[in-house]
Structure 1
Amino acid sequence: MQAQALLTVPFDRVATHARGFVGWVAELLQGPLAYQHTLLAVCPNSEAVTRAALEAAAEANAPLLFAATLNQVDLDGGYTGWTPATLARFVADELARLDLHIPVVLGLDHGGPWKKDLHARNRLSFEETFQAVLRAIEACLDAGYGLLHLDPTVDLELSPGTPVPIPRIVERSVALLRHAETYRLRRNLPPVAYEVGTEEVGGGLQAEARMAEFLDRLWTALDREGLPHPVFVVGDIGTRLDTRTFDFERARRLDALVRRYGALIKGHYTDDVDRLDLYPKAGIGGANVGPGLAAIEFEALEALVEEARRRGLSVTFDQAIRRAVVESGRWTKWLQPEEKGQPFDALDPERQRWLVATGSRYVWTHPAVLQARRELYEALAPWLDADAFVRTRIKARLMDYFRAFNLIHFNERLQAFLPE
């Protein structure tokens, strides 16, 4: 599959733009469409979420970005079972099956050393993890990804709690981008857009002065090597997975900073954030959602379990998903300081439920979970289409984002700016 092959007529006209479709839209969001729209990026953490996102984007008549971490999608299949190539094939097949004609861009999220849980857990050396990321980037480019987030803001060779020095972040960001561009040109693939920075506290870029230094050094280094500038810079705008906070004033300050470099702020952890309508007004160019959609999928399945039991049916999905999440150990990454070291069953029941809902995305493809889900769907088949029920719940939440980000019929507005 060629890069950005998911751009259909008439948007295929901008596939050769200097920074691809995303770069073209970003230029509009800095110019005639400034402070009016925010692009939506969805983490493809399950088949249900991916299908629902395509359906929602079609209903909204808006572009759709996918932002896949290396935990989700990688050469080893990640926790979704998808490689970059099979994700691209799945999305392309769904677009064809549903006869959808919307621009869709696949993207890499947090591509950098030790950003993949397996790399950190196995304590890979820098060279080992860096080479694995380079191979993943090549696979993403081959699969048609149009946006690459390069994020070398973790360094397990430093003492715990020590921020990665900015010169090192810059050096490694340039190395990743250089490799991507060299590979892309060698393979004669169309241009792509790049994203840098991080919202994570451990990344050491929360202080606005450090962010400014990072951008100064990075742009200088990129210009020295004749490499393209990133389209997005990920910034700390107050959002976290377990809060509803969005810091509008901080976002405006970061927006003013990054626009001086011809880039836009990208927000991560946009799940369950209050006042989503403020994102365009703050100048946020793009926003990622993911774990919250897994929680919506989980809640929909909870409702199906309740319906099955109301009908006297014997189902085990809730037990299977809980067991798989607990055994995965992934829930421990979301523990509060006072919870660390406690066994799962000792936590508050509401926290247990939240951790299962949030961690569900890691185990959707677990054999026992798949089997229990099939049995649940089959048990309810005489009364309802369980698969459609789940997708409808996810789609409804996604439509909240499309509306808040002023993306309804955005494709029509974009067409007015297409080159002849």
Structure 2
Amino acid sequence: MTHPALLDLAQGRYRRGIPSICSAHPRVIAAALRLGRGGPVLIEATCNQVNQEGGYTGMTPTDFRRFVEGIAAVEGFDTADLILGGDHLGPNPWKHLSAEAAMARAEAMVAAYAAAGFTKIHLDCSMGCAGEPEALPDEVTATRAARLAKVAEAHGAAAYVIGTEVPIPGGALHHVDTLAVTDPKAAAQTVEDHRAAFAKAGLASAFDRVIGLVVQPGVEFGNSNVIPYAPDKARALSESLKALPGLVFEAHSTDYQSEEALRALVTDGFAILKVGPWLTFALREALYGLDLIAAELDGQPPRVQAAMEALMLSDPKHWAKYYPGSAQEQRLMRHYSYSDRIRYYWTQAPAAQAAEAVLQRLGERIIPETLVSQHLGAVWAEGLCAPTASGLLDAAVGRVVALYNRAAQGAVG
């Protein structure tokens, strides 16, 4: 069953916008649920992260649902307000296979997501499979999306998001200066191609539950810089929503934007704000800061960064092709890149043990304010918590979640 908050959002009956929390880290999810109590919270998993074969988290959609609901129980969050979404659901994890083989796997994935009660489904069949061009014509993309929607409908009605004009997952691979905003005519054509494909597949009523269109509003981040939202450049795209009743725009890679920029995105119709790497970037900043504080207090060297460096060097598959440059440049990016590919490692045993060890080193002791100011000044300046290790770690993630919540509701922080 489609969550009513999604339909209300698309019709302008609910609120101005909603953050989409794209993370499988338990502290991130806990912060989102804790700060979102009393209203709907949208948490999404990607096709590579969670699928019927386990994805890189090792979780199926049913596993992920149980995982999030377990955190909700601890946080006292009403699961009636929980919206689970599937992002970029399509053949991407299997695009090395033939189109038919990859689509068959994608159908199984969508079936698993829908059966597990995910009520927001982003259909993304834009990528070419073996023997096909890298990007496919809109008509082919739409036809394949409708094929997946038919599977989803057989396992439970959902709200759908279409469109694929998005930044590279995880951020650009290089320094970025400018971006081309989606052409309004291209956005309208994407909608019409999907409308026609759904109708041809006998899914006209399902198309009424298409609530969002993924477009490029001109926001992006690279390894070391961020392209801020420029409302004037997106004005024509924003105005084009008037001709697309019942739809909102979904903005990907909104990480590291200012609160003002996020509010402007929501005001301009980009009502679904995807955020992921920034949340775990804040987590990593806090863990490294706490490790340095522990070193100051007990006279022993910091340990977390060394443990993460050893882990990433022993298992480079999540970062090697994304971080170009010299050995020194790669080392810096492994730890400090905005794309935050270190996030793929936090749930692995060595990383989880290193993070837990620093929390145990500090325990529940009250950390001197001067050390907090030195190493976690941004969190401390906002007065978000008592100066304990666990409190500071949760506050570091929570301040990003809170910023998105304020921006989505149009409030000034």
Q: Is the 8 A contact 1:255 1:264 kept in 2?
A: no
Structure 2: distance between partners of 1:159 and 1:346: 37
Deviations 1:328-368 (A, max 9, x none): 33224544xxx4xx45x241765453238701211112222
User: Within 5 Å, which residues of 2 pair with 1:197-236?
Assistant: 197-200=163-166, 206-224=182-200, 225-227=202-204, 228-229=206-207, 230-236=210-216
TM-score, normalized by length of structure 1?
A: 0.79
User: Within 5 Å, which residues of 2 pair with 1:17-416?
Assistant: 19-29=2-12, 37-58=16-37, 61-101=38-78, 103-114=81-92, 116=93, 119-120=94-95, 123-157=96-130, 162-184=134-156, 191-200=157-166, 206-224=182-200, 225-227=202-204, 228-229=206-207, 230-242=210-222, 243-261=226-244, 262-274=246-258, 275-311=261-297, 312-326=299-313, 327-335=315-323, 339=324, 342-343=325-326, 345-347=327-329, 350-355=332-337, 358-381=340-363, 383=365, 386-406=389-409
Q: Provide closer, same or farther for how the CA distance between residues 315 and 131 of structure 1 changes in structure 2, counting only shifts above 3 A.
A: farther
Letter in 1 for 2:124: D
Deviations 1:284-311 (A, max 9, x none): 2211100111101110111111111112
Q: Is the 8 A contact 2:271 2:408 kept in 1?
A: no
Letter in 1 for 2:263: D
Q: Is the 8 A contact 1:298 1:357 kept in 2?
A: no
Structure 1: distance between partners of 2:28 and 2:168: 29
Structure 2: distance between partners of 1:407 and 1:21: 21
Task: Give the Å deviation of 1:207.
Answer: 4.2
Q: Is the 8 A contact 1:268 1:289 kept in 2?
A: yes
Q: Provide closer, same or farther for how the CA distance between residues 241 and 293 of structure 1 changes in structure 2, counting only shifts above 3 A.
A: same
Deviation >6 Å, runs of 4+: 202-205
Q: Is the 8 A contact 2:7 2:211 kept in 1?
A: no
For these two proteins, the number of residue pairs brought into alignment is: 367
- The gaps in structure 1 that reach 5 residues or longer are 1-15, 185-190, 409-420
Q: Provide closer, same or farther for how the CA distance between residues 82 and 250 of structure 1 changes in structure 2, counting only shifts above 3 A.
A: farther
Structure 1: distance between partners of 2:390 and 2:59: 20
Structure 2: distance between partners of 1:407 and 1:92: 28
SS at match of 1:148: strand
Task: Give the Å deviation of 1:155.
Answer: 0.7
Q: Is the 8 A contact 1:321 1:356 kept in 2?
A: no
Deviations 1:163-188 (A, max 9, x none): 3111111111111111111232xxxx
Q: Is the 8 A contact 1:251 1:284 kept in 2?
A: no
Letter in 1 for 2:123: L
Structure 1: distance between partners of 2:236 and 2:116: 36
SS at match of 1:72: coil
TM-score, normalized by length of structure 2?
A: 0.80
Partner of 1:13: none
Deviations 1:357-384 (A, max 9, x none): 7012111122221222222222222526
Letter in 1 for 2:150: R
The percent of aligned pairs where both chains have the same amino acid is 23
SS at match of 2:308: helix
SS at match of 2:319: helix
Q: Is the 8 A contact 1:62 1:407 kept in 2?
A: no
Q: Is the 8 A contact 1:111 1:150 kept in 2?
A: yes
Partner of 1:10: none
Q: Is the 8 A contact 1:325 1:362 kept in 2?
A: no
Deviations 1:21-68 (A, max 9, x none): 244322442xx56xx61111101231111111111212xx43210121
Report the aligned-residue RMSD. Answer: 2.8
Letter in 2 for 1:176: L
Structure 1: distance between partners of 2:254 and 2:25: 18
Tell which deviates more after alignment, 299-308 or 212-221: 212-221
Q: Provide closer, same or farther for how the CA distance between residues 253 and 182 of structure 1 changes in structure 2, counting only shifts above 3 A.
A: farther
- Greater RCO between the two (CA within 8 Å, min separation 6)? 1
Task: Give the Å deviation of 1:259.
Answer: 4.7
- The gaps in structure 2 that reach 5 residues or longer are 170-179, 367-387
Q: Provide closer, same or farther for how the CA distance between residues 202 and 44 of structure 1 changes in structure 2, counting only shifts above 3 A.
A: closer
Q: Is the 8 A contact 1:313 1:379 kept in 2?
A: no
Task: Give the Å deviation of 1:105.
Answer: 0.1
Structure 1: distance between partners of 2:396 and 2:272: 23
